[in-house]
């Protein structure tokens, strides 16, 4: 599959938590004796207030799953209190600000104090168990405090990425029926302020259900204020008591909602629960990153994405680890920033997205070589397929050829790693996520739903429940069943294609549905299309992805103006602005092509396969166009292809 050499397990990982033999033995046991296996793990990794009655029950025709039911625990207690007093003075979070001169250390004792005070402040404002709290924050420690404070009192958090527009924020607040919002005056990224409170104010005009807006003062910038609704974070926590008993939660009580894009309609609120989620987060963190006590671990994701939830906050803190929170961007003040931060905070593990690696690779080796990086022991990637060239650069240049690269495949819906190398167990093939994690049983399906045996390619599906599995789509359980469990009943449908080679390694090829992956950000083509057709001069739009050197995929829009409208550059600019306004800057189209007509079947279905080929400039492979209502439409699109 790849001409790149295999990298065997390096000698310095000989004493890793999991070696090849142990992986084989534990993986076999996780499938053959799941109850015993998961009981042992749940006891080893988590503190329980009451034991569970049933380890797992599930039904993959309905999508129902329940783990450790009857068991009681609290996530914030597991992430904080149980590490005290032993780790009271150890850092829990290291914060590196956007400005290289700004940093903070938050110890486990300080984390407990901050989380308890905010939890009490939320309670004082009437927020309780089961209530939904929206978190719209920059990458500052208070974002983690807010998540953990919700977990402490049993409130369900819904973190919305700080790069989303007021419109997108509003939709998510309303869908989850949130009663409170935690935000900041402004964020700061690459030296530029992000108007979070101003965005929140716009969104909240349409959200009468939000009675409280708690605002962290980050920049001191000018903001609007609603005295009834708004409160300064620092004022609330100054007077709130510093002790707050963790709420005993059932293992299946909801922990959080996180919105993610699918192929149709509005983003879905993926619901995760307490016990199973935390177990797989904790366990995968320790084993995949081979985490050792006292090591400094840095994941560059934003807490607005699932990677930030599981691998900045919950996984690391459940292990008593030191997790670095970075407010800025990899290229500010210059392209050497990441490696400077690695040296400054003595980072041992660095976990980022392929798009960031490709962007840094494009700048060259010099900014990397400027830093010693001598503390680095392990590298990781997540979010999209990594091309072997970028993998090799990461391995050779960033890791100086001595740090394994773990390419971790998983999804918002899976909650935690599903396919990944273990650095002490797996010989690495650049570009392959390699083997399933403990308890994960995979299959590749052919179009007709039959399982492909041995080497081959097909739809990637999961054959049995795993602890951190999606439990529901908030407010629309049927949508979960339809999206993940109805394509091939009895299987969880990932939406990804994959192949398996002769050594059993999995290679993820990307989405097989209408989901784009732009710089590691998931986006439905339908979302971008809905934004485009909001314009009153636009009749119809179809959006597809196309290969992009840095972003992985770019956004290609075919747009049909209303009759009589002469499309021009001005209209193009308005459409781009509309996408940014409706979704956020991540949804900025790369190409807009005017389309007098779109290729449709006689039943009116848009033939996206053809649009994808044109966008990819694969004009020879357009395939059969005879079923089209009007084949001439395709010729027009090919002739007028920009560039
Ligand atoms: C964790 C996260 C999920 C989608 C997923 C797939 C792609 C993630 C990948 C990968 C190839 C990897 N994806 N990791 N593709 N190799 N290591 O990214 O969650 O935002 O929900 O995206 O991302 O297509 O289906 P999410």
CA 153 to ligand 1 centroid distance, Å: 31
Q: Which residue has the higher pLDDT, 354 or 627?
A: 354
**Average pLDDT for the chain:** 96
Residue 1 has pLDDT above 60, yes or no: no
280 in ligand 1 pocket by Cβ < 6 Å?
no
Pocket test for ligand 1, best of 163, 272, 411 (most atoms within 8 A of CB): 411
How many Cα atoms are found within 13 Å in the side-chain-facing hemisphere of 278?
Answer: 34
pLDDT, tens digit (0-9, with 9 covering 90-100), for 600-630: 877 777 888 899 999 999 988 787 777 787 8
* Closest residue by Cα to residue 139 from 181, 102, 87, 89: 102
Which residues does 616 contact at the CB level (< 8 Å), separation at least 6?
546, 547
For atom 22 of ligand 1, which residue has the closest CA? 411
Using CA atoms, how far residue 577 sits from 136, 166, 336, 534, 574, in Å, is: 22, 14, 31, 12, 5
Q: Which residue has the higher pLDDT, 605 or 123?
A: 123
Residue indicated by tokens 């739809």:
459
433 in ligand 1 pocket by Cβ < 6 Å?
yes
CA 384 to ligand 1 centroid distance, Å: 5
CA 409 to ligand 1 centroid distance, Å: 6
Angle at 455 between CA 452 and CA 459, to 5 degrees: 45
586 in ligand 1 pocket by Cβ < 6 Å?
no
For atom 16 of ligand 1, which residue has the closest CA? 385
pLDDT reported for residue 627: 74
Pocket test for ligand 1, best of 259, 509, 522, 523 (most atoms within 8 A of CB): 522
Question: Beta strands 349-352 and 322-326: pairing type?
Answer: unpaired
511 in ligand 1 pocket by Cβ < 6 Å?
yes
Q: What is the 3-state secondary structure (H, E, C) of 273-326?
A: ECHHHHHHHHHHHHHHCCCCCCCEEEECCCCCCHHHHHHHHHHHHHCCCEEEEE
| 406/613 Cα distance (integer angstroms) | 32
Pocket test for ligand 1, best of 271, 299, 409 (most atoms within 8 A of CB): 409
Residue 314 has pLDDT above 70, yes or no: yes
Sign of CA pseudo-dihedral 412, 414, 416, 417: negative
Residue 530 forms beta bridges with which residues? none
409 in ligand 1 pocket by Cβ < 6 Å?
yes
CA 517 to ligand 1 centroid distance, Å: 8
Model ipTM? 1.00
- The answer to whether the bond into 333 is cis (omega within 30° of 0) is yes
Beta strands in 160-228 (DSSP E): 180-184, 187-189, 192-194, 212-216
Which of ligand 1's atoms lies nearest the C-alpha of 419? 17
Rounded to an integer, the average pLDDT of 254-265 is 91
pLDDT, tens digit (0-9, with 9 covering 90-100), for 581-602: 999 999 999 999 999 999 987 7
How many Cα atoms are found within 13 Å in the side-chain-facing hemisphere of 555?
Answer: 32
Pocket test for ligand 1, best of 163, 310, 311, 384 (most atoms within 8 A of CB): 384
Residue indicated by tokens 């780790």:
87
384 in ligand 1 pocket by Cβ < 6 Å?
yes
CA 282 to ligand 1 centroid distance, Å: 19
For atom 7 of ligand 1, which residue has the closest CA? 384
407 in ligand 1 pocket by Cβ < 6 Å?
yes
Residue 33 has pLDDT above 90, yes or no: yes
Q: Band of the pLDDT at 22, cuts 50, 70, 90?
A: very high
CA 382 to ligand 1 centroid distance, Å: 7
517 in ligand 1 pocket by Cβ < 6 Å?
yes
pLDDT, tens digit (0-9, with 9 covering 90-100), for 59-118: 999 999 999 999 999 999 999 999 999 999 999 999 999 999 999 999 999 999 999 999
Residue 574 has pLDDT above 90, yes or no: yes
pLDDT reported for residue 2: 53
Residue 526 has pLDDT above 60, yes or no: yes
pTM score of the predicted model = 0.94
Q: Band of the pLDDT at 375, cuts 50, 70, 90?
A: very high
348 in ligand 1 pocket by Cβ < 6 Å?
no
| 55/62 Cα distance (integer angstroms) | 19
| 581/202 Cα distance (integer angstroms) | 12
Helix (H, G, I), strand (E, B) or coil at 113: helix
Region of 177 (left: φ > 0; alpha: ψ -120 to 50; beta: rest) is left
Using CA atoms, how far residue 221 sits from 99, 195, 197, 202, 449, in Å, is: 16, 9, 10, 17, 56
Helices (H), 346-498: 354-363, 366-369, 388-393, 477-484
pLDDT reported for residue 46: 98
Report all structural domains of the chain as residue ranges with CATH numbers, in order of start. Answer: 11-499 (3.40.50.12780), 519-640 (3.30.300.30)
What percent of the residues of the chain are helix, what percent strand, and what percent coil, each to the nearest 5? 30, 25, 45
| 114/242 Cα distance (integer angstroms) | 8
Rounded to an integer, the average pLDDT of 470-498 is 97
Using CA atoms, how far residue 610 sits from 542, 559, 590, 633, in Å, is: 11, 15, 19, 11
Q: Which residue has the higher pLDDT, 512 or 47?
A: 47
302 in ligand 1 pocket by Cβ < 6 Å?
no
118 in ligand 1 pocket by Cβ < 6 Å?
no
| 224/228 Cα distance (integer angstroms) | 12
pLDDT reported for residue 606: 85
417 in ligand 1 pocket by Cβ < 6 Å?
no
């Amino acid at each position: 599959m790849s001409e790149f050499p295999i990298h065997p397990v390096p000698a310095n990982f000989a004493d890793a938590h999991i070696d090849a033999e142990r992986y084989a033995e534990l993986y076999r046991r996780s499938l053959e004796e799941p109850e015993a296996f998961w009981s042992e793990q749940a006891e080893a990794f988590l503190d329980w207030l009451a034991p569970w009655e049933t380890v797992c029950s599930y039904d993959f025709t309905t999508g129902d799953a329940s783990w450790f039911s009857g068991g009681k625990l609290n996530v914030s207690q597991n992430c904080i209190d149980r590490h005290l007093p032993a780790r009271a003075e150890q850092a829990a979070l290291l914060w590196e600000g956007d400005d290289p001169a700004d940093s903070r250390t938050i110890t486990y004792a300080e984390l407990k104090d901050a989380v308890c005070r905010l939890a009490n402040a939320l309670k004082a404002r009437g927020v309780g168990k089961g209530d939904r709290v929206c978190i719209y924050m920059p990458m500052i420690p208070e974002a983690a405090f807010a998540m953990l404070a919700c977990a402490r009192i049993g409130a369900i958090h819904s973190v919305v990425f700080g790069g989303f527009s007021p419109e997108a924020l509003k939709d998510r607040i309303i869908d989850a029926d949130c009663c409170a919002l935690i935000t900041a005056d402004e964020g700061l990224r690459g030296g530029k302020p992000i108007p979070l409170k101003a965005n929140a104010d716009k969104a909240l005009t349409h959200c009468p259900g939000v009675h409280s807006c708690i605002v962290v003062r980050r920049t001191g910038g000018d903001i609007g204020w609603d005295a009834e609704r708004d409160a300064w974070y620092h004022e609330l926590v100054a007077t709130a008591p510093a002790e707050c008993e963790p709420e005993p939660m059932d293992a299946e009580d909801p922990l959080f909602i996180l919105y993610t894009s699918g192929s149709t309609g509005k983003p879905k609120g993926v619901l995760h629960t307490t016990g199973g989620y935390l177990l797989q987060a904790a366990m995968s963190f320790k084993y995949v990153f081979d985490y050792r006590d006292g090591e400094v671990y840095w994941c560059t994701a934003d807490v607005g994405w699932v990677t930030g939830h599981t691998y900045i906050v919950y996984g690391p803190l459940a292990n008593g680890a030191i997790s670095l929170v970075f407010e800025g961007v990899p290229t500010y003040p210059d392209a050497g920033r990441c490696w400077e931060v690695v040296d400054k905070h003595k980072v041992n593990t660095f976990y980022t997205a392929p798009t960031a690696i490709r962007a840094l690779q494009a700048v060259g080796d010099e900014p990397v070589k400027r830093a010693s990086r001598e503390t680095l022991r392990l590298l990781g990637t997540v979010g999209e397929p990594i091309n072997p060239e970028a993998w090799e650069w990461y391995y050779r240049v960033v890791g100086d050829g001595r740090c394994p690269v773990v390419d971790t495949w998983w999804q918002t819906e899976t909650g935690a790693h599903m396919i990944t190398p273990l650095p002490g167990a797996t010989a690495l093939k650049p570009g392959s996520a390699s083997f399933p994690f403990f308890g994960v049983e995979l299959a590749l399906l052919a179009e007709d739903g039959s399982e492909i045996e041995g080497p081959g390619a097909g739809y990637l599906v999961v054959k049995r429940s795993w602890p951190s599995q999606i439990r529901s789509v908030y407010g629309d359980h049927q949508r979960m069943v339809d999206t993940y469990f109805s394509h091939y009943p009895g299987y969880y449908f990932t939406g990804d294609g994959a192949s398996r080679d002769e050594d059993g390694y999995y290679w993820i090829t990307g989405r097989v549905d209408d989901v784009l992956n732009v710089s590691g950000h998931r986006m439905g083509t339908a979302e971008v299309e809905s934004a485009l057709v909001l314009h009153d001069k636009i009749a119809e739009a179809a959006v597809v992805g196309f290969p992009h050197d840095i972003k992985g995929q770019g956004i290609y829009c075919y747009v049909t103006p209303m009759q009589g409208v002469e499309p021009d550059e001005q209209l193009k600019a308005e459409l781009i602005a509309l996408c940014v306004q409706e979704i956020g800057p991540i949804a900025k189209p790369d190409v807009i092509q005017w389309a007098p007509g779109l290729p449709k079947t006689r039943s009116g279905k848009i033939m996206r396969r053809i649009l994808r080929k044109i966008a990819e400039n694969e004009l020879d492979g357009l395939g059969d166009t005879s079923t089209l209502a009007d084949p001439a439409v395709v010729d027009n699109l090919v002739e007028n292809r920009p560039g």
